[in-house]
Every structure is written in structure tokens, then in C-alpha cells.
Amino acid sequence: MRTRLRKRRSRIRSLSAMTLLTLLVVAFFTLLIGGRALKTQIDRLAVTSSDNLGWNISQVDVDFKSFAANLLEPMTPRSAGGTEITPAEFSKIQVSFDIFYSRVSVIGATLVRIGSTVSASDDYQVVLARRDELASIIDSMTEPTTAEIQSIFDLVALTEPTIRLLTTRGIQSLSEAQTDVREQQYKTFLSFHASSFIILGFVLLSCLLAFRLWRDLEERSRNIELAATNVTNAFEAAHSAVIFTDVDGMIIQCNQAATKYFGSEDEDILGADFVHDLLDSTSISEFMLYRGSPGTHTIRLLARSLEYNPVSIEMSGVWTKDVEGFDTYIIYLTDISEQLAAEEKLKASRDEAKEASNAKSRFLATMSHEMRTPLHGLIASLDMIHSGKLTQADQKLFKTALECSNRALEQVTSILDHTRLTQVQETAQPFALRTLLEGIQTVLTPLATANKNTLDMSFLGNSVDARYIGLPEAFSRVMYNLLGNAIKFTENGAVSVDMIATKGSTSQTRFLTFIVSDQGIGIAKEDQKRVFESFEKAKFNEEDSNSGSGLGLAIVTQSLKQMNSEIHMTSRLGKGSTFKFTLELELATEDESSEPAVIQNDIEEWTVPSSPQGPVLIVDDNQINRTVLNEMVSRLGFKTDCVSMGTEAVEAANKTHYSLILMDVNMPGMDGYEATRAIRDGSGKSAETIILGVTALIPSDRDHSTESGMNAMLAKNLTADRLARAVNKYIVQTEVPAGDNLEQFMDPAIAKELKKQSLVDVRNAINMLSDKSSSWDDRSATAHYAVGSTGVVGFTKLSQILIEAEQAAKLSDQAALDVCVAELVKIMPK
Amino acid sequence: MLRIKPLTALITLVALFSTPTLVAAADSLTITNGDTVVELQSEDVAALQQTSFETSTIWTEGTINFSGPSLKSVLELADITDGVGTLTALNDYAIKIAVEDITENAPIVAYLMNDEPFSRREKGPYWVVFPYDSDTKYQQEEIYAVSIWQLVSVKKDIKESKHQ
């Protein structure tokens, strides 16, 4: 708007100036032409009026009378010669006639010149004729007589009226001509007057325009001055230094800020060389480079004031041309010394905070890890207590203690998972999701059974069995947590997992959708968002024994994020919840590693070299672990050696042939991997022995374990039951008579009682397994219980068959179960 | 302005008085500077350095070729080089002229019109003429007044008198 107005005003201004110019030019020419016309006119008048024509004409009469007088003179009696004509008198007559004669010629010419008609009139012709007549008469005379003079005089007298008439008419005609001239003069003056008025008008108009222009210019210059003042003020008041340099870098102008930054008390920086006087030598090349290549970014340099104080600056610059067209480089810079200091401080505090956060995570991880060891010991110890001997009330307490310790371990584990999650990045690898899921199902089924739930899985789509490249650990975490929650919060219900494979966005990928549904208590709408956050739990009954660490869904969210996915939840309070997520995974090609998936709570399956029976070496730096493991392994009927350090383990392995080495992975000094490597690399007696790593962190240790030469890893939540399974799996045991070894490390009475109880458990199991009316879950649970019981007292064969039976029960495989039962019955001592 | 009064030309070699006198002899021109009196005849005039030009006049019709010595050269014959001179015509018409205003070439004392001497009836025999057509400065009142015809005498004023 303002711009348009300004444009219009500028147009008006130039129009005014043009008009002014035109008016002045017109006025000038009008004046010039008018003046010239006037001058010409006046000149013309001056020429015509330059002779007194009137007088000239009237003089004819005078000359004529003079001639007449000269004629009369000799005829008067008083004359010199009386009435005779003397030669002198005749001469006078001749002269006066000649004067008259020439006078007539003159007025003839005059009359012609002024254009008078009188010259053509009869009077003039008559006068002319009489003059010529008189001339011829006079010229013919030599000695005139009085009579002759008298005759001339008569002729003259006859001519006199005509002369007078001519004179009168001539003067009249002349005055008419002069009147014409005057009128013309008057007209000329009038037109000059008029044009003068016009010119005056023009001049007045011009003055007006000039005044307007002047006022306009005044305003403009005031505005310009105002703008210039503003610019100067802004320039001077700017916090940033502004420096103008010429091509050579000499400072030609700068503002107060620049002087403040760089000047000294008795010297300002005008005329200084910006590059060499003000820049630190380390910054010159960077500045030159920056100045040479135009850009809009800023650079940070180190400058020095004239007093050599260092100034950290952030600057930008721009090339421009000054009014005279010289190249000028304008530098804008800010003193960032304080800012830099603040940044440093900020960085330091950020690092500190990060470090603190890391420390916290490390602390949490360490705490959790350290807490797991005693918990493992506690659980293992409880596991080994034969509850059958307890009173009814004690059994209830014992059960509570077992549950509590299990829950505590679970929580510690999930905290550990969570803290590790934020620190460790898993690498993608091929794995079979279905196999993994089924493994999880196997592991969680007992838990589901305990809550009287079913755990079912269904697989839809062609590619559900394929192997995919993904993050098995993250996926396991997600499923364990989702299913763990589903089972925990559902009682007498069904928990199901649906895996649906559909086409992916390319031929090499598939969309895999997982739906985990339960019929549990559900989550209130207001809690639905919150439950995905760390350490948040839905507001369940405070007394609810199922409350967990509050990390489950946060772990799920985090883990899914690692797989570029997210969880969707629908839940209705009291009806149950459904969690859904979709992964897009790439199909693994056939030749890629076909290693089995890692299942956290199970044992990896490798081929087992046959090995003759021998003692078991237990390596663990932790006293409790050593004791518990020692107890467990002993109960399985093995002799044991216990060492607490990697080096001791290597030494022992070299000397003794062990049938199995249980190697703790994390030990101070030589750790489990190193020890394993040393054993494998050496040619000791146990170089070929099965070595099972024992660790709390199976998945991330996997690569290490295989590389180091461990046969498999056992997760550290090691119960007698799981240890028994592992040992059974890896060591082809010669049949050890039941109970043979138990007495060696146990009070024989107790051992006997344990064995008796164990056999009772087996019988109960056989009964339950044979009872086709009982549920599969009940059967598998009974078998499971018996597995532990037999394993602990050393009935390894029984234990092994019971494991198979449990498996069969889980799979609802009646035929396989029948085979197992038959075998059990066959082996059972009567 | 031309004024013509009946007057006779008189040829005198030495004139003691400055007042015009009727003289019988025609065609002579008297130059007077104090006691110095020079009387010129037409052959004396013809012997002087001649100037000629063509011009019209307000008293004649058509253009005329005038010839004659310059007035300046004529005055110099009587050593008149400054002051004021009085020119007198046959009819006693007299006019004063500042000698310093007289230039080398104008006016002339014409005694030939179209290469012919001219009579009294034709404003002769001596006529003070300017080249009127050549410049408007010669078309002025004062110039016309000095353009005296039937010239009979030129006399330097003794006293630095003002105009009559």
C-alpha cells in the first residue's frame, strides 16, 4: 500500500517537474517571440517615423513661397536695379527654383514610400507638370525681362492653390498613415501585453509547481534524513559489530560495537587491516576461504583486539558495492566468548547428566544382576526343599515363599531387560518366528495352566513357517511380556496368539501381524495410554498379587520401536484386552544361517559328542551359586569339582577328564569365554568336554559362547529341574541305579525319604497321565512336578521319560503319552 | 532633418566671417577651421580618395550607387579631427556633428550618383550620404538629420558650443 502510494507520488512529482519545465520553455519562447515581434515592430516604426515627413511636405509650400518671393523681388521699385532684372537677382530665382524643384522630387518619393495615393493624384501631377514647365522656361532664359518674370509669376500664382491643396492632402495622408502605424503599434503592444499576461500566468504556475516540488523534495529529504538517521542509529546501537572493509581488508567504516570489541582506549580500528590486525593467525585462512566463497552460513573465528585480547567471534559477511562502485566487504560479527563458555558449560552438564543417567542404568543393571544371584540361590534352594514333609500350614507358606521369590526374580529380570534395552542394540539375523513362538508357548504353558488358562496359537498364511531376518531377542521380549501379562491377568480364560502373514510391500518381504488376546480384567480407558510408559501400571486392585514391575508394556513399546513397529491395544474393563502389532520382515534366503532360534528359558540344541562318564566341574565366582550348583549337580548323581576362577577352571580341566563343565560367564579376571577358549585350545583332558555357559544374559552372549567353544548356554534362572533337563540332554548317562548316589551327599534317611517321595510323585503322575478324564494341562503339570522331583534325587531315567511325557501332554499327544506311561511303569521299582 | 532655405552658394577663398553669405558661384564646397579656409571645386573633390556604395534613401526611389570622398577625409583637409562641425546646406539648413562620430567610410560627401555628377535639382552637387541599407544604425533620426544635401560648407565650431 505504502509502496504504491510512494510510486504514485513519485509519478506526480516527475509529472510536475516536466510540466514546470514545459511551462518555462513555453514562457521563454513566448517571451522571445513576443519580444522579437515587438522589437521588429518598434524598429519598423522607428524607421518610418525617423523623418518628419509632415514637415517635409509642408516645406514644399515654404520653398514654393520662397521661389515666388524671389520672383517678386526684382519687380518691386525698391530693388537694386529698379524694375530691371540683375544677374544676381536672376541667380537667386534660379537657386530658389532648384530648391523647390528638388523638394518636389523628395515629397514624390516620400509619398510613394508611405504608399499614399496622393502621389498618383491629379494635384501632384499638376504640380509636377507646372514645375517641369517652369524649369524649361527658366532654363531657356539668359537675361530675363520683367515681363518674362511677370509671366513666370503668373504661372506660379496659378499653381499656388494646387500646391496648398497637395500640401494639405499630403499631411492628411501622412497623418492617416501614422494613425495606421499607431494602431498597429497599439495592437502589437496589446498582443505583447496579452502574451505577457500568459507568460506571467505560466511563471506563476511554474512558481506554484516549483513550490510544490520544493516542498515535496523537502519532505523527501526529511524522510531520507530520518531514514538515514534511523539506519545510523541502528548501525551504531547494534549489539553486533558491523565492519566495512575494502578489497584489501582495510577497515573503512565500523560501528560502536566494533570499536568496543576491538578498539583500544587511544586507538580506534578505522584504517586497520581487519585480516592481519584483528584476526588471530589461526583464523586467517578460514576467513579468506569464507570471504572468497559467498555463502549465508556463519563461521566462528578467533579474533584479537588491538590490545591483543582474544575475542571469539561468530561472523558472516557479504560483498557489496559502495556508491562509487568500489567493492566493499561488510562483516557482521558477534562476540560469542560468553556464549561459547555457556555452550561448554551446557555440554559439560549434558555429559554429566548423560553420565549420571548411564550410571543410574548401570547401577540398576548391576543391582538387578546382583540381586538375581541371591534370588537364584533362594529359588534353587526352595526348589530343593521337599515340601511333602512340611505340615499343611507350612506347605502353604512354602508355596507363598516360592511364588514371592519367583515374582521377585521376574521383576528384577524385567528391570534388567529394560535397562539393557536402552543400552544394547541388537543386530538383525534370520530366525523362524513360528518356532520361536511355539517355544515360548511351551515355556509359558505351565504358567497359563497355573492360572487355569489355555494358551493357544494359530498361524495363518503361507509364509508363517518361513524364516525371516529380524530381531529375535526383541521379538521374544515382546511376546514374553504380552503373553506374560495376558496370562497373569486372566483366570479361567483363554489366551491366544494369532500370527497372520500377508504380502509385503516387496516380493522379498511379508507383513506379519500378531494378535495377542486375553479374557482378563482389561484396562480402563483412562489407563490405556499410561500403561505403555515405564514403571506405570494400570490401577488394579492394590492388593492384587499379580502386579508386576510396571515395565512390561514399556519394554514392548521399546522393542517394537527397534523393529519399526508399534503396538495397538483395544481393551474393555472386565472383558479382556487385545494387543496387535505388525512387522514387515524380509524373508531369509535358504543359505543363510540355519541356527535355531534362541529361546531365553530353554537350552539351545547342538549335537552332543559322546563322552564317557566323569565328574562335573563347576566354575563360579559366587559362593552361593557354587553351593547351589554343587548341590544340584550332586543330586543328579555326579561327582563335582568346584572352582571360583577362570584360571583354576583351565587348570582343573587340563588335569581331569570331566563329563561336563558348568562355566559361569561373568567372572572377575579370566571370564567364562576366555576360560572356555583356553580349555578348547589346550590339549588337556577336558578339551573335548561339553561346556555349558551359565549366564544371566543369554541372547547377547550367544556369539561369544559359540565363538569361545561353549556348547550351549544356560540361563541363570537355573532350577534343579532345568539343570536336570540340560544334563540329560547333553550327557548320555549310563543307567545309574536310582538313589545310588544320593546317600553320598545326604543324610541317608533323608535321601531315602526323598526317593520315596519322588517315587510317590512318579506314581501320582502315572495315574494322572493314564487318567483320560483329566485335562492335558493337569497331566502336563503333574508330569512337570515329577520331573523335578525325580531329577533331584537322581532318578535320571525316570526324569527323562517324564520330560517326554510332559511334552506329549502339552501337545495333547495321547499316543506318545501312552508310550511314556508304559515305559515309566516298566522302569518303576515295585 | 533637411531644411532648405533660399541661399546662394558663394565661392570664397578666405572667409573671415563664419556667417553664410550669398555667393554667386555654384558647385564649390568651403571647409573652415578657424583661420584656415579650404574651398573645394568638384575636381578637388574628385581627386580625393573615393568611397562608393549602393543604397536606397528615404528621399529617392530605387537604389543608387553613391560615390565620393569620406566626410572624414574632407574634414582632414582643414585639419578638423575633433570637436564639433557644422554642416550647412544651400537653403541655410545647418546641422552639428561630433567629429569623433564620423567614421572612415561613412558618411561620404557624394558627388556622383550612378557614376554621374548630379545637379542642384537632384540635391547636388554635394550630398552627405550614409550606406542606409547596410545597417539599421544608419536608419536613425540623427543620421537622416546629418544627411544634408546641396551641401555648401563645413565649419569647425570655435567654441565648444552646444546644439543650437
What's the whole-model pTM score? 0.39
Contact assignment for B8 to A95 by CB distance below 8 Å: yes
Burial of A485 (0-12, 13-18, 19+ CB in 10 A): buried
Q: What does the pLDDT look like over A303-312, one tens digit per residue?
A: 888 888 888 8
Distance from CA of B108 to the nearest CA of A (A): 20
Is residue B62 less than 8 Å (CB to CB) from chain A? Answer: no
For chain B, the helix, strand and coil percentages under 3-state DSSP, each to the nearest 5: 20, 30, 50
Beta pairing, strands A310-321 & A327-335: antiparallel
Q: Which residue has the cell 503599434?
A: A185
Give the angle subtended at the CA of A640 by the CAs of A635 and A642, to the nearest 5°.
Answer: 120
Q: How many domains does chain B have?
A: 1
Q: What is the pLDDT of residue A578?
A: 92
Question: Any idea which fold A616-827 has?
Answer: Rossmann fold (3.40.50)
DSSP conformation class of B90: T
Q: Report the C-alpha gap between A738 and A742 in whole angstroms.
A: 9
Whether B33 is covered by a domain: the verdict is: yes
What's the pLDDT tens digit per position in A175-200?
A: 787 788 788 878 878 888 887 888 88
Who's near A529: CB < 8 A, 6+ residues apart? none
The partner residue sitting opposite B4, judged by closest CB among A63, A91, A92, is A63
Instruction: Decide if B3 and A59 are in contact by the 8 Å CB cutoff.
Output: yes
Which pLDDT value is given to residue A593?
44
Contact A99 B150 (CB under 8 A): yes
The domain spans of chain A are 20-211, 241-335, 342-405, 425-587, 616-827
Listed in sequence order, the DSSP H helices in A308-336 are none
Q: Please give the mean pLDDT across all residues of chain A.
A: 79
Residues of A in contact with B90 (CB under 8 A): 95, 99
Is a pLDDT exceeding 70 seen at residue A599?
no
A109:B60 CB<8 A: yes
Query: Is the Cβ of B22 closer than 8 Å to some Cβ of chain A?
Result: yes
Mean pLDDT of A280-292: 88
Q: Is residue A378 scored above 50 in pLDDT?
A: yes
Mean pLDDT of A92-104: 88
Cβ(A531)–Cβ(A547) below 8 Å: no
Chain A residues in contact with B5 by the CB 8 A cut-off are 66, 99
Q: Name the residue facing A91 among B8, B59, B141 (closest C-beta).
A: B8
Shortest CA gap A31–chain B (Å): 23
* Residues in chain A closer than 8 A to B91 (CB atoms): 63, 99
Specify the pLDDT at position B67. 92
Question: In the prediction, which pLDDT does A535 show?
Answer: 55
Report the residue of chain B nearest A94, measured CA to CA. Answer: B8
| CA–CA distances in Å: residue A564 to residues A428, A475, A554, A583, A597 | 12, 12, 15, 7, 21
Three cell numbers, residue A686: 577336558
Percent of chain A clearing pLDDT 90 (strictly above): 6
How many beta-carbon pairs under 8 angstroms link A with B? 79
State mean pLDDT over A394-398. 83
Look at A297 and A1; give whichever has higher pLDDT. A297
Contact residues, chain A, for B141 at CB < 8 Å: 50-51
Beta strands A310-321; A299-304: pairing state: antiparallel
What is the crossing angle of helices A776-793 and A796-810, to 10°? 160
Distances (CA, A) of A552 to A415, A417, A479, A482, A531: 9, 10, 10, 7, 9
Cβ–Cβ contact B60 with A under 8 A:
yes
**pLDDT tier at A263 (50, 70, 90 boundaries)?**
confident
Between chains, do A105 and B122 touch, taking CB under 8 Å as contact? yes
B126 part of a folded domain: yes
In angstroms, the CA A737 to CA A797 distance is: 9
Tens of pLDDT, residue by residue over A681-699, are: 888 888 888 888 887 655 4
Q: Which of A4-18, A440-454, A493-507 has the lowest mean pLDDT?
A: A4-18
Please indicate, yes or no, if residue B12 is contained in any of the structural domains. no
pLDDT in tens, A518-552: 988 888 887 777 777 655 555 444 334 444 555 67
Chain B nearest CA to A191, separation (Å)? 25
- Has residue B9 been placed in a domain? no
The answer to whether the Cβ–Cβ distance between A102 and B120 falls below 8 Å is: yes
The x, y and z cell numbers of residue B87, run together, are 554642416
Residue A19 pLDDT grade (very low, low, confident, very high; cuts 50, 70, 90): confident
For residue B42, give the C-alpha cell. Answer: 568638384
pLDDT band at A79 (very low <50, low <70, confident <90, very high): low
Residues of B within 8 A of A47 (CB-CB) are: 136, 139
Contact across the interface for B8 and A92, Cβ inside 8 Å: yes
- Residues in chain A whose beta carbon is closer than 8 A to a beta carbon of chain B? 43, 46-47, 50-52, 55-56, 59, 63, 66-67, 69-70, 87-88, 91-92, 95-96, 98-99, 101-103, 105-106, 108-110, 112-113, 135
CB contact under 8 A, A95 and B6: yes
Instruction: Single out the residue of B143, B141, B117 nearest to residue B128, CA to CA.
Output: B143
The 10s digit of each residue's pLDDT in A620-662 is 887 777 877 887 788 777 888 899 888 889 999 888 888 889 9
Superfamily of domain A241-335: PAS domain (3.30.450.20)
Q: How confident is the model at residue A582 (pLDDT cuts 50, 70, 90)?
A: very high
Instruction: Tell me whether residue B140 is in a domain.
Output: yes
Assign residue B52 the CATH number of its domain: 3.90.420.10
Question: CB B144 to CB A50 under 8 A?
Answer: yes
Evaluate whether A759 touches A794 at the Cβ level (below 8 Å): no
The number of C-alpha atoms within 13 Å of A748 and in the hemisphere containing its C-beta is 1
Give the model confidence (pLDDT) of A120-153 as tens digits: 677 888 888 888 888 888 888 888 888 888 888 8
ipTM greater than 0.85, yes or no? no
A99 and B119 in contact by Cβ < 8 A? no
H-run or E-run covering A581:
strand A576-587
B23 lies in some domain: no
Residue among B41, B70, B66, B42 at smallest CA distance from B56: B66
Closest-CA residue in chain B for A64?
B6
Q: SS3 for A564?
A: coil
b/e burial code for range A720-737 (CB count within 10 A of at least 16 → b): bbbbbbbbbbbbebeebe
Interface of B with A in 78-97 (CB under 8 A): 90-91
Measured CA to CA, the distance from residue A809 to residue A787 in angstroms comes to 13
Of A609-618, A719-728, B52-61, give the range with the top mean pLDDT.
B52-61
Helix, strand, or coil here: A187? helix
- Which domain, by its residues, includes B75? 29-156
3-state DSSP helix/strand/coil % of chain A, to nearest 5? 60, 15, 25
Identify the segments of chain B with pLDDT beneath 50.
1-25, 161-164
Q: Would you state the pLDDT for residue A748? A: 60
The mean per-residue pLDDT over the stretch A232-251 comes to 87
In CATH, A425-587 is 3.30.565.10? yes
Identify the three-state secondary structure at position B44.
helix
